[in-house]
Structure 1
């Protein structure tokens, strides 16, 4: 940044450039996922259980391929990116993205440990509390996911074996493409353009709005508005935790692992509907919560340090960014622009991918 450049100008410029790149990558995702979805459209109607699950798998594969490919292309297309971002890091953004998937013999056990901790300390307690305090969200979730979407009809299948195979394929695919998109791309790439906490906020807002979008499902007219609002709040907060983890550790496998397994557990709650949640929780969630408590005690020092670091790191978001000479008014501009960018990315994503 030049000495004469105003912080507000840099805030607007960097986020605009990031948004342009997001649009280009989203277009790439559309190209890589449109043809498979088009081919499977009629097949899903004929056999929603089989081809519905496979459509999720193909979507995950398409997103995994599209993001690094189009990051590579934007490296050549966007001149400002090559000059001001890539040369500073001396690394191609596609390579940087792919490194998030690196698992070595020396770090595998730690990636597994963090994945297990995120699952048992973050995901499972949150879901349990919401299902316990707001059991109506179970019915809302089932109906929202299956309304006019036959790909999710596995949730309504009485055959547990078919449900289990479907849920494994679907939810591992969902975990892969949601983490790849929200954390692997938006969080990581955003942090290359501007301060990390803005990238965390924008990606978490995008992730939360993606779940709040079920509010626009016609079925939502039959339910209180706080159901999708709770869904938004939950996913927004989880998004912050996961994004902070990714930027600190540069690992995406623990996030995919925890996200997918939690979705599989939650899917069992949805599949159990309309049976009462309380009896079901006794042999599903209670044992899991006990395991989580044991893990919390065992890894208390690591968890405490992670919480302290996370709160300290994200707390910087609400302070002036001294690196670019922010004033109080610049900070408020940054927060408002981040809100706008997160919302715009969500809107673009709705129409493109």
Structure 2
């Protein structure tokens, strides 16, 4: 796939332009987006991502097109899990609804910047160290285990990192609009809004560690990795307000993502064995009998896993919804059923 510096420049410039437009058109004036507004923009960004994938397939071949679609689908699923954690953070800090989209916007921009850095590092490692696929594969298998069996039970507003921040900064107890700092009695204080953004940024670092090795398990093309991530993050703010309470119903999302990460981890290990250069593995010779998992199978597997996790989640939570005729409500799904 031949990507010139000019194409990189145009791609990054257009991505920045979309986020600048988002800020000035929708985020700068605090408000809670309507369902209609969120639906229109979510459909626009998803349609744009799909159209771009078709363009990649037509211009560069459908092998690269398939890699893009598999990467986009994986990153979109991971981004939705990211939204769930954003929801926990904003609930813990009691962010007023009219300011939530500003927090989301800043969090998404931080995520894109961090992922851009990880993409550059990943591309350099893959270019120079073929055995890095072993490391990526092992990391994804570990992350899959953590995704499946750890939980969101910690309080994002009162964890060790936040307690450290509060010990070293003067923090107000109340919000002052969407200001990050405020002066009271001649002394500058930070507001809970700033703490929320710091917490979101910390979460973004963790999710970047998940997402970048995962997509490099599907493609070696840094351009596809970047564009799949960019399109997955575009429209994420609108998607948050569109699906709203549906996030609470996706109780099997974490398990579905764990299956996807484990699958890509195995795929990476297979690839590492297929191109092996480590002297203590098969005498430094590639294990050519080890199969390479084709991108078409990867795309279908990821799509099927996301579909099964979503449908199973909705069926389970529908069964648990309270009966209005009952004297007492049944239990709704809690964050214990969501794992990361």
TM over 0.5: no
More helix, by proportion: 1
What's the TM-score once normalised by structure 2's chain length? 0.29
Q: Please report the TM-score for the alignment, with normalisation by the length of structure 1.
A: 0.28
